[in-house]
Structure 1
Amino acid sequence: MTDPRVVVFDYGSGNLHSATRALRAAGAEVVLTADADAALAADGLVVPGVGAFAACMDGLNAVGGPAIIAQRLAADRPVLGICVGHQVLFGHGVEHDLDAAGVGVLPGVVERLHSARLPHMGWNTVEAPANSVLFAGLGGERFYFVHSYGVRSSADLAPDALVTWTEHGGDRFIAAVERGPLSSTQFHPEKSGSAGAALLRNWIATLG
């Protein structure tokens, strides 16, 4: 049996090489590319991202990323967003007084966290739903976060969305979302040690 083929979407943003290494270690055949045909044909597509929401969206738009993501999801083909790659899946982001449209496959707004200590940089436990696939076999582990913005409400998400929560400085925000073929994490699984590796193996196991 061959390893699942995963494309790490290279649109000019993200921890591309650390994500690639972590996915390979977790059992995937990984290609780093912005090629649309490869991204559509892969068993799984990973959308990384670091930096500003609007800049990531500019990079995604330049390579047709929103249409590729939407087409994959419409065909029930898995997509995993990481950090700002998680954030841009939502409707829009408000950063430095700039309101930028996101990919919009998840309703909601990315906004500055209400904490006195930003950026949020470090290790957090999360509260995952019992039927989570990403967090199967995990409980109490810590994951690595580095960000100042997040989604603080799940009110607009569909009832079948599985939402994982965490908090920083008393402010609760979404740590991960799972809905059908779409998964996303605010934290960096590729930088989260054995817990992150287990989560990536769980996701890769869905690609067969």
Structure 2
Amino acid sequence: MAVVDPGSGNLASVLRALERASALADAPVEAEVTRDPAVVALASRIVLPGQGAFSACMRGLFALPGMVETLEDAVRGRGVPLLGICVGMQILAERGLEHGETPGLGWIKGEIAPMAPGAGAGGLPLPLPQMGWNTLAAAAAPGGHALLEGVGPGSHAYFVHSYALRGASAEEVVATTDYGGPVVAVVASGNVAGTQFHVEKSAEVGLRILRNFLRWDP
């Protein structure tokens, strides 16, 4: 399994979480952090972490010669399962509006736009970034998506972001959270999925989702 390093991302924590999830899944998986398209081309699963700005993450990918083309071939061409994490999820969208307009990979409908949360309990707008634990609400059809198997109502995940997916296709939204209004938390389309929150920092819920990703057969 390849963990792509676009120059931003909590890579050591992601690797540790994948190792723990692999043991939970009873499916030994060797995960390797890489900036080499040749390694990605041979991977049976791909994880795309990201932190910071949308534009910086896309620049990081394009700075790796052949990486975007290899991802297109593996994910879109051959159906290799991919999980984007935080900004790694955001760049799956059609474009981002952080520091100007930047085209994304276009594998998920919608754009990444500034959040504008409504008022909190005290009547004041909620602060940005959204930082900390928040509740997930499944948005998929009855039975839920395979990535959320075992993730019960009221489960919490760890978020850190000021931008979020806007204009998403309802069919691609797997889960939402509420932060002064609904916020897309998990997306999936075919063999492509992403979490706005940090699965590697989301304790048992994050490990469960990673375990499900390791066993996912889209």
Instruction: State the TM-score, normalized to the length of structure 2.
Output: 0.86
Structure 1 residue 171: Cα displacement: 2.4
Cα distance in structure 2, aligned partners of 1:165 and 1:65: 30
Counterparts of 1:14-33 in structure 2, within 5 Å, are 14-27=9-22, 28-33=29-34
Provide closer, same or farther for how the CA distance between residues 158 and 38 of structure 1 changes in structure 2, counting only shifts above 3 A. farther
1:13–1:56: 8 Å Cα contact kept in structure 2? yes
Match of 1:48 in 2: 49
In the superposition, relative to structure 1, how do residues 65 and 90 fare at CA in structure 2: closer, same or farther (>3 Å)?
A: farther
Structure (1 or 2) with the larger CA radius of gyration: 2
Find out whether 1:76 has 2:85 as its counterpart: no
CA distance in 2, matches of 1:108, 1:43: 27
For residue 104 of structure 1, what is the aligned residue in structure 2?
106
Deviation at 1:65, TM superposition (A): 3.4
Question: Alpha-carbon deviation of 1:69?
Answer: 2.4
Q: Give me the whole-angstrom Cα distance separating, in 2, the residues matched to 1:108 and 1:14.
A: 22
SS in 2 for 1:26: helix
Please give the root-mean-square deviation of Cα atoms over the aligned residues, in Å: 1.6
Aligned to 2:188: 178
Cα distance in 2 for partners of 1:207, 1:190 equals: 21
Is structure 2 residue 151 aligned with structure 1 residue 143? no
SS of aligned partner of 2:106: coil
Following superposition, the deviation at residue 118 of structure 1 comes to 0.2
Residue 96 (structure 2) aligned to one of 74, 90, 93: 93
**Separation (CA, whole Å) in 2 of partners of 1:48 and 1:72:** 17
Q: Which runs of 4+ in 1 moved over 4 A?
A: none
What's the offset of the Cα at 1:138?
0.9
CA–CA distance in structure 1, aligned partners of residues 71 and 183 of structure 2:
24
Match of 2:205 in 1: 195
Verify the 8 A CA contact 1:153 1:174 in the aligned structure 2: no
Query: Once the 2 structures are TM-superposed, how far is the Cα of residue 153 of structure 1 from its aligned partner?
Result: 2.9
Residue identity (%)? 41
Contact 2:85–2:198 (Cα < 8 Å) also in 1: yes
Q: d(CA) in 1 for partners of 2:217 and 2:130?
A: 32
Asked whether the equivalents of residues 152 and 172 of structure 1 are also in contact (C-alpha less than 8 Å), the reply is no
| Structure 2 CA distance for aligned equivalents of residues 100 and 148 of structure 1 | 16
1:206 Cα deviation after fit: 1.9
Q: Aligned residues, how many? A: 198
Instruction: Tell me, yes or no, if the aligned pair for 1:119 and 1:148 is still in contact at 8 Å.
Output: yes
Pick which of 84-93 and 23-32 moved more. Answer: 23-32
Unmatched segments (≥5 aa) in structure 1: 1-5
Amino acid at match of 1:31: E
TM-score, scaled relative to structure 1: 0.90
Question: Unaligned stretches of 5+ in structure 2?
Answer: 23-28, 118-124
How far apart, CA to CA, are the structure 2 residues paired with 1:191 and 1:65? 27
Q: CA deviation at 1:66?
A: 2.7
SS in 2 for 1:122: strand
